[in-house]
Amino acid sequence: MAFEKKPFVKRSSSDTGRRRMGRRKGCRFCADATLGIDYKDVEGLRNFLTERGKIIPRRISGNCAKHQRKLCEAIKRARNIALLPFTGKHFG
């Protein structure tokens, strides 16, 4: 019984088993210029936190890099002055 070597077959990106999403989400701050990022707007910032209190990444939220940086800075400021909790067990 001889061991037979199989030929190398290059897979395309569609064969890797990953699911591709459709269109990318657009940045809501770029789309609507009246929306602002403010550390005092706690309800607006909670939309970008998970139930555990972690910041939602850019690829999930759809923000552009510029607004994601501003958003992270605002969330961290709100945490430091106790407007937002650091952990998720304080959410109600």
Q: Give the tens place of pLDDT for each residue, 11-61.
A: 666 656 666 666 777 899 999 989 999 999 999 999 999 999 999 999 999
Residue 67 lies in a domain: yes
Side-chain half-sphere exposure of 57, counting CA atoms within 13 A: 2
On whether residue 7 sits in a domain, the answer given is: no
Identify the CATH number of the domain in which residue 41 sits: 4.10.640.10
In a domain, 11, yes or no: no
Domain that holds residue 86: 25-90
Three-state DSSP class for 43? helix
In a domain, 77, yes or no: yes
Residue 45 lies in a domain: yes
Assigned domain for 3 exists = no
Structural domains in the chain (count): 1
User: Residue 47 carries which DSSP code?
Assistant: T
The per-residue pLDDT for 39 is 96
